[in-house]
Amino acid sequence: MSATAASLRNQFPLLAAAPDLHYLDSAATAQIHRLALDAMLHHEATRRANVLRGTYRLAEAADLAYEQARAIAARFLNAGAADEIVFTSGATASLNLVAHAFGNTLKAGDRVLISVAEHHSNFVPWQMLRERTGIELALIPLGADGQLDLAGLPELLDRNCRLVAVTHCSNVTGAMTDVATLVAAARRVGARVLLDGAQAVQHGPQDVRGMDVDFYAFSGHKCFGPGGVGVLWSRGELLAAMPPFLTGGGMIASVTNEVATWAEPPQRFEAGTPPIAQAVGLGAALEWMMGLPWARIHATEGHLCEMLITGLQCIPGLRLLGPQASAQRAPIVSFDIPGLHPHDICQVLDGHRLALRGGHHCAQPLLAALGVEACTRASIALYTDEAEIEALLDGLDYAVKVLT
C-alpha cells in the first residue's frame, strides 16, 4: 500500500482496525472519518441540548455548533449563504422535500423532466407527484455509452417544463451528467434544475453557483460523515416561495386555532428536532475534505479506475456497464457476468475480505435500459489502493472458476 493511501486509510477507524479488509462499497456508504466521530462525541458529551429557542448556555452552545455546521456545508457547496442550507436525514429526504414542497407549486400540465438513470429516490417521488397533481413526467433516455442522451432536449424541454431533476453522477455506471449543456437548455425555457449529488460529493467539494443549478442534494454517509443526515441546498428565493414539507415544532412562526404561519427558511423545512450531532459530524467531515489535495486524489482515483476496467475487460464474457473509458466516469464500476448472479459473486468475494455490492442498486429503470436485472458494483474512494484492485481481480478470477 502506498504511503498516501495508508495515511488516509489510518484516518478511518474501521479501516485502520481491519487492515485485511478491501472495502469497495463506498458508493453505498463511505467509511466515516475519525474527525467526524470525534466531533459528534465531543458535542454529545459537552453540549447536548436541543436547538432553537433555548436561552441557557448549553442550548446556545448547541445552537452555535449546529449553525457552524450549516455554514461549513454552504462553503463546501459554494452556496450564496448559510441559510440556503437545509439539513435533512439524507439525500432521499432532500429529494422528497423538493418533490413535495416545490411540487406543490406545480399544476396539471406542468412538466418535470428526469432521466432513466435516476436512483429511485429521484424517480419515485416524481411518479407520485404525477399521481397527485397530474403533472407530466418525461424521461431523458440513455445513450449507447451509458451516459444521458441529451440530443433530444429541444423536444423534451418545452415551455411547460418547470423542473429538470437528474443525477449528477450515476450510482451504477459512474457516468457524469453534462451539467452545462443541461442547464443551458433548461434556462432557455425557464425551467429549474435539480441535481442529485449523492455520488459526486465523495469526490470533492461542489460549486452550485458555478454550475448555475437551483437545487442540490446529498447525504452525509456518502462523504465520510455520519448516517442520518443530509443536505438540501436551494436558492434563497426558491426556498422562500415553497411551502413546508413536514410540519411540527421549530418550523412555524405562529399557530392559532384557525391558521398557522411558517418560519423563514431554512427552519421552515426542519420540523422537529433535527439531526444535531450528525450535522456537527458532517461539518467536521466536510471541513476535512475541503483541505485535501483533490487534483492528486482525482488522478489516483482515475488511475485505479482505469486499472480496474482494464482488468475486468480481460475476464471472458464480462460486460462493463456504462462508459468504457475511466475519464468519462467517476470511479464507480459495475459489471455483469452472464450466468453468475451478483449476490453469489459478492458472497464468494466476501470470503476474500472483499466488500462489494450486488443487485439493482435502487436503479431498476437504468438496469432495464442496460438490459440487465442486476449487476455487481465496485466503488473506489480516496482510501483505495492498487493492492485492493489487484485483490478484487484475483478474487473475481476465483469466483468465476467456482461459480461456473
Coil, strand or helix at 83: helix
**Residue 365 backbone zone (phi > 0: left; psi -120 to 50: alpha; other: beta):** alpha
Question: In whole angstroms, what is the distance from residue 195 CA to residue 137 CA?
Answer: 17
DSSP 32-101: PPHHHHHHHHHHHHH-----SS--SHHHHHHHHHHHHHHHHHHHHTT-S-GGGEEEESSHHHHHHHHHHH
Task: Quote the cell numbers at residue 188.
Answer: 432557455
**CA distance linking residue 137 with residue 203, whole number of Å:** 31
Neighbours of 123 (CB within 10 A): 25
Decide: 226 and 282 in contact? Cβ < 8 Å. yes
Cα pseudo-dihedral 12, 17, 18, 22, rounded to 10: 10
Instruction: Return d(Cα 357, Cα 124) in angstroms, integer.
Output: 22
Closest CA to 358 of 372, 366, 346, 370: 346
At residue 296, what are phi and psi to the nearest 5 degrees? -70, -40
In degrees rounded to 5, what are phi and psi of residue 290? Answer: -70, -15
Which candidate in 161, 305, 346, 362 is catalytic? 362
- Catalytic residue check, 305: no
Q: Which residues pair with 255 in a beta bridge?
A: 260
The DSSP letter of residue 213 is -
Nearest to 36 by CA among 290, 218, 219, 221: 221
Give the single-character DSSP code of 169. Answer: B
Count other Cβ atoms within 10 Å, centred on residue 248.
11
DSSP state at residue 247: -
Q: Which residues are catalytic?
A: 362
